[in-house]
Structure 1
Amino acid sequence: MRRTRSRPAGTSSVALQRGKYPFLLALTVPGAVIYGYFMFSPYLQAMWISLTDWGGYTATMNFVGLDNFRRMIADPQLLTALRNNLILLLVVPVLTLALGLFLASMINVGGRGRAGAVTGVRGSSVYKVVYFFPQVVSVVIVAVVWKYVFAPANAGGVLNNALEAIGLGRLAQLWLAEPKYLIWVVVIVMTWSFAGFYVVMFSAAMQSIPRDIYEAALLDGSSRFTTFRKITVPLVWDTVQVGWVYLAIQAMDGFALVSVMLGTGGGVEGAGDVLGVKVYREAFTPPNNFGYAAAIGVVLLLLTLAVSLIFMRILRRERVELA
């Protein structure tokens, strides 16, 4: 009779445990490599091009080191674009998030139902659709529509004609022809187009807050503003933080909106220019300078990363959880 050697208990499970790692690596590594190549290689190529004088349509590419970055210091239009991006970065997130929180609060806890129950205002489901509508419209369409809103009265400008219709014609301005107004026009349009998304996002976060908390606070004599500041904001703060970082990234772009509304020149005297439009203009407007455009793009990338990290650090706070 042939004697078989018995294996210790658990040997087979250990072998299976060891065998699963090569299997998992074989499944994940090829996809990770392909994703990493197509994700990071454009960044590396842009960084290399930023160190050259490549024109984009020529075979020659001479290494110039940091000359493109030194050129930025003496470029007044670049400084204008950077200033405008900083204005968008500081103003648009504040206005958008404040408006989004207020509207979401009204939609979810702004009304009173039977027996004093806290509910949303009447027609809240309709308001959500209305506020979210700009998100399903192309940025190009948004820019074209608002370009006509701010157009002169004789060109069918909605805003100036409305001001004249209500007897405030003295407030009518050539909004898109005055350099001092251009960046603030962009701020208004960005806030309008972004707010609806954050209304819906904050509404989803507020729906997880028990209504009993609001009702108890109101019974204790707390005002609506107090409950908003002491209950709503702390309990949706994680969502606010995510929205703030995302809005900061959007504010550092603005290419599509500005290029359609104000043109690739940044409007009158380039007063509405932003870094994204500056990159496009340097790369595709003669004399084409892809090297300088890539250098501006690298700076834009680094600024966006730095802003995101700073915002995440500043907005970090202790998490409030419901028992």
Structure 2
Amino acid sequence: MQHGKYRFIVGFLVAPLVLYAVFVIWPFIQSIYYSFTDWTGLSPDFKMVGFANYTRMFHDDVFWKSLEHSVYFVVLLPLVTLSLALFFAFMLNVGGRRRKGAAVTGVRGAGFYKIAYFFPQVLSIAIVALLFRFAYNPNDGAFNGALKAVGITWQPEWLGDPKLALWAVMAVLVWSTVGFFVVLFSAGMASIPKDFYEAALLDGAGRATTFFKITLPLLWDTIQSGWVYMGIMALGAEAFATVQIMTVGPGGPAYSTTVLPLYVYQSAFRDANAAYATTIGVALLIVTLLFAAVVMRLGRRERLEY
């Protein structure tokens, strides 16, 4: 029986593992291999150049700028997005006033607010980036128009100022993703027994106390997973698409918004240097793995069950 059971399990696992190896593991191996060549991406001819691409990368100022911006994304985006999502979810599920027959409830209209927060998830990130590109227009954009309407004469060039451009892009990513985590955290909070909150209220605990003593510990696993997801998103396609569509250059002005995924794309398709692009891709892979490992290590704590 045991032998038959293992054969049954292996039979189900073989096909997925083969597909994973062919479409995930093998491209990683190929990328590492090509990073030691001078392949242009346009010709099948190339030769081995050893660590020349890595030496170039370590002396490349644009690479270090891109890495710095990606670190900002991977640290600040999850911090701001998850903090806002936790606050909104807590208010929608627990932060309302007491009502008849319910000691713990959310604010009025919580269902509508959840739909409103989640709405940006319905839109493609390309559409969101394009809409905000128009909204950031210094001449007739919505933001500068709003500043004029309230009598503020300061009219910043949101995407044309190297000091503002990166933060303007990050604000768009926060706006477009916070709703997803509001819904995710709301689902987690709905599974927490109301008895915990009611007991805390009877003991005189306020909203801040119930959040830090009940909600946060019991949602910790969900928050940790969300942090990893947000970090990978900030190092991947979401950040690339937003910067590519919104910024001048793209990645400008003066490389002030260039991130690692964009620099990989530019090296491969603009500069026709696929080998150097794969080298930067290897660096991006290492950064992503280090980020996930650090978050999982720092977020490790005793699992709470209820």
Query: TM > 0.5 between the two?
Result: yes
- C-alpha spacing 1:29/1:140, structure 2 compared with 1 (3 Å): same
| Alpha carbons 1:50, 1:295 under 8 Å: kept | yes
Question: Alignment partner of 1:110: what SS?
Answer: coil
Question: Alignment partner of 1:163: what SS?
Answer: helix
- Alpha-carbon deviations, 1:95-148, whole Å to 9, x = none? 001000000001101112215611111111111111111111101001011111
One-letter amino acid of the counterpart of residue 77, structure 1: V
One-letter amino acid of the counterpart of residue 252, structure 1: L
| Alpha carbons 2:38, 2:46 under 8 Å: kept | yes
Partner of 1:293: 277
**Unaligned segments of structure 2, at least 5 residues:** none
- Moved segments of 4+, more than 6 Å: none
User: Does the alignment pair 1:219 with 2:178?
Assistant: no
Which of 141, 144, 150 is residue 127 of structure 2 equivalent to?
141
Partner of 1:117: 103
- Alpha-carbon deviations, 1:208-253, whole Å to 9, x = none? 1112221221222211111111111111111001001111111122
CA distance in 2, matches of 1:43, 1:264: 29
Question: Alignment partner of 2:164: what SS?
Answer: helix
CA distance in 2, matches of 1:310, 1:297: 20
User: Does the alignment pair 1:38 with 2:23?
Assistant: yes
Which of 220, 232, 249 is residue 215 of structure 2 equivalent to?
232
Offset at residue 72 of structure 1 (A): 1.1
| Alpha carbons 1:92, 1:251 under 8 Å: kept | yes
Which of 256, 260, 266 is residue 251 of structure 2 equivalent to?
266
CA distance in 2, matches of 1:218, 1:19: 55
- C-alpha spacing 1:264/1:50, structure 2 compared with 1 (3 Å): farther
Offset at residue 303 of structure 1 (A): 0.7
One-letter amino acid of the counterpart of residue 71, structure 1: R
**Unaligned segments of structure 1, at least 5 residues:** 1-15
| Alpha carbons 2:251, 2:257 under 8 Å: kept | yes
| Alpha carbons 2:243, 2:250 under 8 Å: kept | no
Which of 70, 95, 103 is residue 55 of structure 2 equivalent to?
70
| Alpha carbons 2:267, 2:276 under 8 Å: kept | yes
CA distance in 2, matches of 1:59, 1:280: 19
- Alpha-carbon deviations, 1:36-86, whole Å to 9, x = none? 212211111111111111000112111011111110121111111111111
User: Does the alignment pair 1:186 with 2:169?
Assistant: yes
| Alpha carbons 1:95, 1:191 under 8 Å: kept | yes
One-letter amino acid of the counterpart of residue 113, structure 1: R
Which has the larger Rg? 1
Partner of 2:117: 131
CA distance in 1, matches of 2:15, 2:234: 35
One-letter amino acid of the counterpart of residue 158, structure 1: A
- C-alpha spacing 1:318/1:25, structure 2 compared with 1 (3 Å): closer
| Alpha carbons 1:160, 1:169 under 8 Å: kept | no
Offset at residue 27 of structure 1 (A): 4.3
- C-alpha spacing 1:319/1:22, structure 2 compared with 1 (3 Å): closer
Query: Larger deviation: 107-116 or 138-147?
Result: 107-116
RMSD: 1.5
- Tell me the TM-score normalized by structure 1: 0.90
Partner of 2:187: 204
One-letter amino acid of the counterpart of residue 295, structure 1: T
Partner of 1:3: none
Partner of 2:266: 281
Identity fraction in percent: 46
Offset at residue 18 of structure 1 (A): 3.0
One-letter amino acid of the counterpart of residue 302, structure 2: E
Question: Alignment partner of 2:157: what SS?
Answer: coil
Partner of 1:246: 229
User: Does the alignment pair 1:163 with 2:147?
Assistant: yes
Partner of 1:54: 39
Question: Alignment partner of 2:191: what SS?
Answer: coil
One-letter amino acid of the counterpart of residue 137, structure 2: A
